[in-house]
A and B are shown apart, each in its own frame.
Chain A
Amino acid sequence: MALDKFRQVVENRHEYARNWKSETGGKVCGCICANVPEEYIYAGGVLPVRILPDPKTPQTLAKDHIQANKCAMCRGCLEEGLRGRYDYIDALVYVQGCLSQSLTFSSWVMHVPLAWNYRMFQPFRQDIPAARKIYSDFLEELRLSFEKWLGSPISEESLAKSVAIYRENRQLMKQVYELRKKHPPLISGSDAQRMVLASMLMDKKEHNDLVRQLLKEMRELKQPGNDRPRVMLIGSGIAPVDFTELVESVGADVVVEDHCLGIRYFWGDDVIDEDPTSAIITYYHEKKPQCAYQDWSGEKSQKRVSQLAKEYDAEAVIWLEQVFCGTNQWQIPEDIALFEQKGIPILRMQRGRSFPQGRFRPQVEAFLDKVKGKK
């Protein structure tokens, strides 16, 4: 089953990358934040691997480098690096998202040896031609630096192939998400999120094969109807698979999620561009959903969550905020007002590195009781 493989990769991500490395003889590049144009890295025969924290690991080493008032995502990622859990990565790339993740990158390159590292800045404005121009200039600099490290240029053919594989990956995952629109959804929220997480960790070609297999399995599935409330999850940093499992175990279906490790990783690749470089620029600079730090006015994110709630027929929303994510805290009151206006109940919760079930479960239960009572 494809889902078993996704779970296996997510749970044994380091083993997967090490095996890939020994089998292919290739290099591995860590990616901080979802903005890294992985297509370049993949085209160079290097495996891009998203750096992720382990919520179960206490952040005892990172606390000497990143202060306690930074989010658990940035400290957690650094903790993994300092503990040597990513000792197989040869390189590290960060493309500007929020400043906290930049701290992860800074402290990592200061204290963990790497063959190559690169920090790319980017404009967050998408409304002026000058922004696209400077984005493409900075992207070119990233490419040149990467090629210098590789020791050879990336051919246009390899890049085109890589862009096509990535586009297919996004489209395949979007197809899976389409099946979550069904009543009931044909895949649980936690399984769907594991599929997305696995995509950040695996060879994309292999992932594509698995998603195709998953789609086949899902289409053959006969899902009996249920009256479980359909919940949309909004969040920021740490992948809340554990939280999604909790919500689902209490008796709801998580039908879609808008957070950094969910749709913001792969949504929006819907413009066909023949030129691979231009396709990368269009996707990462113009189409890919921005995080709250980039979309600081919240205009685009509010439109997106409003649209998602409608498309996925969400009956309730849970806003799971990350402690010390200040930009999101500006947006939450507006999202609460938005959904209250639409008559969709919304619950606001806050998590740190991990989340204690004993505190979260009763809150979710009470909220879902209210939602069910309303149905």
Chain B
Amino acid sequence: MKQQYESRPLESWAKMKELRRWRFKNNWEAQKKGNLAIVSEAMMLRALWAGFGSPYYAVMSVSPYWTGAKRNPDELHRLLAFTDSKGYGPEVCGALRIHLAHLLEGKTTVSPTGETVLPDFGWQLNFCPQVSRLVYEATKKLNIPYIQIEPLSGGDVEKSREYIVAQLYEAIEKVKKITGREYNPELLIEATKNELKTLKLFAQVCELNKSVPAPLCARDLISLTLVKTVMAHTKESVEFYEGLLDEVKYRAQNQITSTGFETKRLLMDAFPWPFPHALRYPETYGAVVVCGDHPFLDAQLEEDENGNWVPRIGTDEKIKSLKTMDDALRALAWLWEGGLKVNRHSMHNWHIEDAAEMQIRMAEQWHCDGLILAAMRDCFQQMCFGMETKLLADAKGIPAMLFYSILTDLRQFNPDTLQKQFDTFLSDDLGLTKFEERKEESIVG
């Protein structure tokens, strides 16, 4: 099959890998350098802790070895069977069961070289009760304090923001007592500016994927989200996303793609995590996933008053106006409040009736020809509105499929069935033909 467009690997990829490696190493060294070590999952409002001396604090996952386990079916099976034996049922989030297994096995605090780092405290933004429970269990097992910030999933935006701000002040006071450290508002302000900049830059990158052909595929985006997840508040993150934005702009202007093809454009909201290749599988038909819930994870995109998806309005003004600690904490609360309307995860936005329509508008504005929607057995927080989105897509005549899957437990999941569903959708509903030279390729890669 002759390529439709030029394809080229991302130059920023190497930098992204470097930063992720640095971050992993730093987690084991930060405390020795006099910085905080925090255990937390899906870190958010990251700038908050920079005020305690340095933005280069450690953000330790309950499972530092999660990615490796996810890639190894035998190890994955062993860990899930271990949590089964401890009585945790199949509806406990599959991703968190890996974390839990590592916690129970005592791996949370042990570095690859065998050194032990005991975090100063655990903290969690309570966007999902299961994630909160995991971190809470970790703090109980490690005998360290637990700090929470509870965002609200709806209601009056101003009041919700005030509620978060009150809790941010409370959290700072608690950590002062726990660690005996002073809090430096200047460091907070600087880190908050970086966090605002990073999240806007990433949103701009996502927005550029509206271009036809798309400069990035979803698999690229998934990996690119991770730098900001752990270090959005650092200058290194800002520099990285500035470089990435320039590169993606160039690719969009010059029709450079990741895949070389774009027979159809798709929205996909999630995928079974042991099989990220599911995001690429439509490419065996020349179709590309260009947007979706997971690929745009935590991106500060919002709908303007006309229903157009744009990078968060008011970010630059917010950065300019940051002068005091209170300004910074309010800006962090503002960032989260964005979660109410920006991030379409149902864990953030319980108004399914709005979320389904927002997802359809996203598909339209990213020029998608179809939607692939996921329902994860073991994730009751996300992807909740797939059925209503599908009904809406059906009513509008937009091809859409919904597949049932799991996050990690391969004992409950048959990739062949999923592949057949994808094949049927791509061939029958979208009218595509699988490329001859990729005929044998399966959804597991």
Name the residue on B nearest A130 (C-beta). B166
Choose among B150, B153, B170, B353 the residue that contacts A110 (Cβ–Cβ < 8 A).
B353
Distance between Cα atoms of A293 and B388 in the complex (Å) = 23
Asked if A103 is at the interface (CB within 8 A of a chain B CB), the reply is: yes
Asked if A364 is at the interface (CB within 8 A of a chain B CB), the reply is: no
Q: Check A296 against B89 for contact (C-beta < 8 Å).
A: no
Residues of B within 8 A of A296 (CB): 126, 129-130, 132-133, 136
Name the residue on B nearest A324 (C-beta). B91
3 tightest CB-CB pairs across the interface, nearest first? A333-B87, A296-B129, A106-B352
Asked if B199 is at the interface (CB within 8 A of a chain A CB), the reply is: no
* Mask: chain B, 64-90; 1 = CB below 8 Å from A; 0 = not: 000000000000000000000011111
Name the residue on B nearest A337 (C-beta). B87
Name the residue on A nearest B169 (C-beta). A130
Which of B346, B347, B378, B388 gathers the greatest number of chain A CB atoms within 10 Å?
B388
Residues of B within 8 A of A107 (CB): 352, 388
Name the residue on B nearest A68 (C-beta). B404
Asked if B162 is at the interface (CB within 8 A of a chain A CB), the reply is: yes
Q: Check B351 against A326 for contact (C-beta < 8 Å).
A: no
What is the size, in residues, of chain A's interface with B at 8 Å between Cβ atoms?
49
Residues of A within 8 A of B90 (CB): 329
From B291-299, B379-387, B418-426, the one touching the partner chain is: B379-387
User: Which residues of B are interface residues toward A (Cβ below 8 A)?
Assistant: 86-93, 126, 129-130, 132-133, 136, 148, 150, 152-156, 159-160, 162-163, 166-167, 170, 346-347, 350-353, 375-378, 380-381, 384-388, 391, 402, 404
Given A106-B353, A325-B91, A131 contacting B163 (CB threshold 8 A): yes
What are some 28 contacts across the A-B interface (CB < 8 A)? A67-B404, A69-B378, A96-B154, A96-B350, A102-B350, A106-B353, A110-B388, A119-B350, A119-B351, A120-B155, A121-B152, A121-B154, A123-B163, A124-B150, A128-B166, A128-B167, A128-B170, A134-B160, A137-B159, A138-B156, A293-B129, A296-B133, A297-B133, A297-B136, A326-B91, A326-B130, A327-B133, A329-B90
Residues of B within 8 A of A138 (CB): 155-156, 159
Q: Other CB < 8 Å A-B pairs besides A121-B160, A130-B163, A324-B91, 15 of them?
A: A64-B391, A65-B391, A66-B387, A67-B387, A70-B380, A99-B346, A106-B385, A121-B153, A124-B150, A293-B129, A296-B129, A296-B136, A298-B133, A323-B91, A330-B92
CB distance from A373 to the nearest CB of B (A): 24
Distance between Cα atoms of A226 and B203 in the complex (Å) = 69
User: Which residues of A are interface residues toward B (Cβ below 8 A)?
Assistant: 64-70, 96, 99-100, 102-103, 106-107, 109-110, 119-125, 128, 130-131, 133-134, 137-138, 141, 292-293, 296-298, 321, 323-327, 329-330, 332-333, 336, 348, 350
Q: Check A99 against B133 for contact (C-beta < 8 Å).
A: no
Q: Check A119 against B89 for contact (C-beta < 8 Å).
A: no
Residues of A within 8 A of B159 (CB): 134, 137-138
Residues of A within 8 A of B88 (CB): 329-330, 333
Distance between Cα atoms of A327 and B134 in the complex (Å) = 11
Choose among A119, A122, A327, A336 the residue that contacts B129 (Cβ–Cβ < 8 A).
A327
Residues of B within 8 A of A96 (CB): 153-154, 350
